[in-house]
């Protein structure tokens, strides 16, 4: 049975919100069609798919401790950033007004 952190990682991967984490795992799994299928089938609404992915991550981590370390550190960075979600509420918008919702911006924004 995988550690609870791997279940949390699998859940984050299933939402595909943690892009760097997802890309890391996808690269790792790229040579194994079944592993890629497990990653892509993971769905937060399907606990069995999360468990299958967590078990696969556990297996990969046991085979390659460097991957396990990188996976955990990438997940911790994602967690410490609080994810990347931005939540805005717009009550009223004047005619012709522009509403923009975005996460991190590196550079200029022109509207």
pLDDT at 62: 95
State pTM to two decimals.
0.69
CA distance 53 to 81: 23
Task: Let me know if 29 is exposed, middle or buried by CB neighbors in 10 A (0-12, 13-18, 19+).
Answer: buried
pLDDT at 78: 79
Is there a domain that residue 87 lies in?
no
- Do 10 and 64 touch, CB atoms closer than 8 A? no
Is there a domain that residue 34 lies in?
yes
Which pLDDT tens digit goes with each residue over 42-66? Answer: 998 899 999 999 999 999 999 999 9
Is there a domain that residue 42 lies in?
yes
Is there a domain that residue 111 lies in?
no
Which pLDDT tens digit goes with each residue over 6-37? Answer: 888 888 888 887 788 999 999 999 999 999 99
Which pLDDT tens digit goes with each residue over 56-99? Answer: 999 999 999 999 999 999 988 877 765 444 444 555 555 666 66
Q: Encoding tokens for residue 72?
A: 């955990």
Is there a domain that residue 98 lies in?
no
| Nearest to 60, CA basis, from 83, 45, 85, 39 | 39
Total domains present in the chain: 1
Is there a domain that residue 62 lies in?
yes
Is there a domain that residue 94 lies in?
no
Which residue range(s) make up the domain with 39? 4-79
Is there a domain that residue 22 lies in?
yes
């Amino acid at each position: 049975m995988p550690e609870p952190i791997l279940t949390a990682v699998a859940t984050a991967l299933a939402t595909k919100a943690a892009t760097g984490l997802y890309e890391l795992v996808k690269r790792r799994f790229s040579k194994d069609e079944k592993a890629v299928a497990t990653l892509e089938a993971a769905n937060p609404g399907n606990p069995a798919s999360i468990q299958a992915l967590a078990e696969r991550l556990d297996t990969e981590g046991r085979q390659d401790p460097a991957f396990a370390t990188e996976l955990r550190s990438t997940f911790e960075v994602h967690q410490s950033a609080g994810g990347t979600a931005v939540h805005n509420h717009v009550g009223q918008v004047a005619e012709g007004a522009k509403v923009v919702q975005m996460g991190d911006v590196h550079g200029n924004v022109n509207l």
